[in-house]
Structure 1
Amino acid sequence: MKFKFNLKREVKIIAAVVVVGIFIAFTERRQGDIAVRDITVKIENEQENHFLDEADVMKLMQLNLENLRGTGLNEVNLKEIEQRVKSEPFVKEGELYSDLKGNMVIRVELRRPIARIVRNDGPDGYIAEDGTIMPVSEKFTSRVVLISGGFVRQLLKQKNVNDTEEGKQLIALINTIREDEFWNAQIAQLDMDSKASITMYSQVGDERIEFGRPDNPELKFKKLRVFYKEILPRMGWNRYDRVNLEYEGQIVAE
């Protein structure tokens, strides 16, 4: 095996690395010498989730802009301020950086709720897309499926629903509902008993849907679709009080 050493090429590569290093060092030095002028807040998906606005983010940063103006950027602990923002449950991602004009820029991505936990003996909460448990907000109410029943106490003890197998199955079930136009419009509430067995309540119709544990959602929804598309149109929408999907290969309606 022959190895050719190209001195000219190697020198060019080393020179390029040195130039980049000098540029980075110069930029950092220059930024450190720049004084803070202003703070810019950029909130992604704010139009979908009005949980936080610019004023809320400023409060999370715990900064007094008037006192901060004129302070050198090298005197500001950007990482510490960034962590304050990221500690807020509504915030999925937070990034704080500075530009060459002396502006501090905070970019915030909000979590998206996919379900609301409701209970009579305490405050409600939201489940986010990533499974994080979030508090409710006085500013904004998200129109999502409701989760109730004895199992919600276990959910609220967790920081993230995905920490348990039942929680992972619940997230998968909720996403199955969200991603289907018909189920998203039809399923209003999931009532879970202490053993995570689910009874669903629909927007249209009075029947309760005994879904069982949140496993095999695709198979159970396939049977439920047969019930809605083939049985109810023939028998009438008010004919049944309950429909059970727990038995393999069967639909039990009474």
Structure 2
Amino acid sequence: MSNSDKPRPTRARSTSGLPASPSRQKLQSRRNSSTEPTYAPRRTQAERSETTRTQLIDAAIKLVRANGLSGLRTVEVAELAGVSRGALMHHFKSKHDLTVAVIRHVNDISRSESARRATIAKRSDQDPIEGIIHDAHDFYFGDYFFIELAIAMSADSESRVLKRETLRTSRTSRFSVEAAWLEALMATGISKQVASDVLALTLSVVRGFSVRMLIERDPDQFAHLLKVWRNIIRHYLDSMPTDRPIKRGSK
């Protein structure tokens, strides 16, 4: 058989009689598909604005933690946040406004988390002393406490107002946290006076270790001493007279 007599391969033809190209076949396949394309919902202007504001605050937190308040530069904040200087000025007119926002932000987050933990301890069989130590450790050994220290210890003349703002905001936040943990302790059956004493002493111990970190970094030793403190508190509570059984929690 000659080459001219060999059968030729057939091609798919379109309705117009012309061969259908691969791209047209794909397009027709998409049109025939029952799956509709999905699109992410567009964010509102308020949502975009809030995202930008949060990015700026997060960037400022990182810079204050690394360089202190005196090392905070709005230009660097905008650069780290990935926004323009104009966008920063739109949300925060000055370095003071930005720093106040940082103070309020870190206190809002820590207060909310502490209140959540205290509520769980109050409604469950968890040991509230363990909860207080864990919660206080997270705060006083974390970035937020040292950011407040950096602001409070700043020597700038411009920081006087910030120091007052920091003190006022911190007092409101920490007193709220202490009130939540006081309720959790009293829910175990101990008196308000004993609960207040235990709470104040425990917070002072943890806070003291966090300050100690400035001159000695020995987390294993601190963890050991906190366990010793917990045992001291347990023995103290066991020796207290009470009119009703005390819920001890897990040991």
Check whether TM > 0.5: no
- The structure that has the greater radius of gyration is 2
Higher relative contact order (CA 8 A, sep 6+): 2
TM-score for the superposition, normalised by structure 1: 0.25
Query: Which has the larger share of strand?
Result: 1
Higher helix share: 2
